[in-house]
Amino acid sequence: MGQPWVAGSAEGAPARLPLVIPALWAAAVALELAYVLVLGPGPPPLGPLARALQLALAAFQLLNLLGNVGLFLRSDPSIRGVMLAGRGLGQGWAYCYQCQSQVPPRSGHCSACRICILRRDHHCRLLGLCVGFHNYRPFLCLLLHAAGVLLHVSVLLSPALSALLGAHTPLHAATLLLLPWLMLLTGRVSLAQFALVFVTDTCVAGALLCGAGLLFHGMLLLRGQTTWEWARGQHSYDLGPYHNLQAALGPRWALVWFWPFLASPLPGDGISFQTPADGGPVAS
Ligand SMILES: [Zn+2]
Ligand SMILES: [Zn+2]
């Protein structure tokens, strides 16, 4: 049975996937944006006030994006270091043979992180870390601001892209938009033209993916479900939209989207959870 536990990983530190690919992509986007804004046709024409507002929006988006990335990566959503002694054996608790520990309801073992995660949602492969009770807020805010930043970059690149596409036939332009690699490999476009189309394509696709993820997790947020519970049709922890928002994002759930460092302490501990049936903790 279980250890008298401060839980720890039986297999050492989590195996985070390298962040090389997203870091390289972010660097490519930043370089292309700088190239287009400085050497290319520049940003869309705007008046002084609109330009100032655009700069303020960019700073706000970047601060929120980087702040939430930092909070997400620094968080430990696992049972590592969590005092579970004497709290097990209640309803919903289970024994994890890999961690050699009793684990609370809604937790789940992650083979990539190699430890059980509190209120496990899913493993984010892009950032190499599980999404769980302690980092759900930065994950959601990250989706929102990543979508915003990528849309903003797409808008800034649009004059250069329009100029490039307008210089070619519609068929050439459509092929370039959809299959930029093919056009590069067949020598139909230069490396600079390819880079512009490729970066813009991935920014638009990334924004759509982040937007879709935000809609999906917004639905889960309002229902009080994890992805795992949604896939199995479980609604055991649905306290109604308002209380679900508070449970996942804290009392300032409406404001956390605007500043990553705003204090909004979570009401629970990731170990016991309120249910609509009893109004009290599932296990303690
Ligand atoms: Zn485990
Ligand atoms: Zn994981």
Please, what is the end-to-end C-alpha distance for the chain in angstroms?
18
* Nearest ligand for residue 102 CA: 1
pLDDT exceeds cutoff 50 at 12: no
pTM (predicted TM-score): 0.87
Helices (H), 167-266: 170-178, 180-185, 191-223, 227-231, 241-249
Is 13 within the bounds of a domain? no
Is 263 within the bounds of a domain? no
Given the residues 99, 113, 124, 141, select the one marked as catalytic: 124
Is 280 within the bounds of a domain? no
3 state DSSP class of 265: coil
124 CA → ligand 2 middle, Å: 7
Q: Are 103 and 79 in contact (CB under 8 A)?
A: yes
124 is catalytic: yes
CB neighbours of residue 68 within 10 Å: 26
Is 174 within the bounds of a domain? yes
Give me 221's structure tokens: 């947020």
3 state DSSP class of 3: coil
Is 277 within the bounds of a domain? no
Express each pLDDT in 74-122 by its tens digit.
Answer: 999 999 988 776 666 677 899 999 999 899 999 999 999 999 999 999 9
Q: Are 222 and 235 in contact (CB under 8 A)?
A: no
**Listed residues: CB within 5 A of ion ligand 1:** 96, 98-99, 109, 116
Q: Give residue 118's identity as a one-letter amino acid code.
A: L
Express each pLDDT in 13-25 by its tens digit.
Answer: 444 546 788 888 8
Is 3 within the bounds of a domain? no
Express each pLDDT in 109-137 by its tens digit.
Answer: 999 999 999 999 999 988 889 999 999 99
3 state DSSP class of 131: strand
Is 138 within the bounds of a domain? yes
For the chain, the domain total comes to 1
Cα angle 48, 50, 56 (rounded to 5 degrees) comes to 105
3 state DSSP class of 129: strand
How far, in Å, are 71, 77, 254, 262 from residue 135 at the CA level?
8, 6, 17, 14
89 CA → ligand 2 middle, Å: 24
Which residue range forms the structural domain that includes residue 240?
20-76+128-249
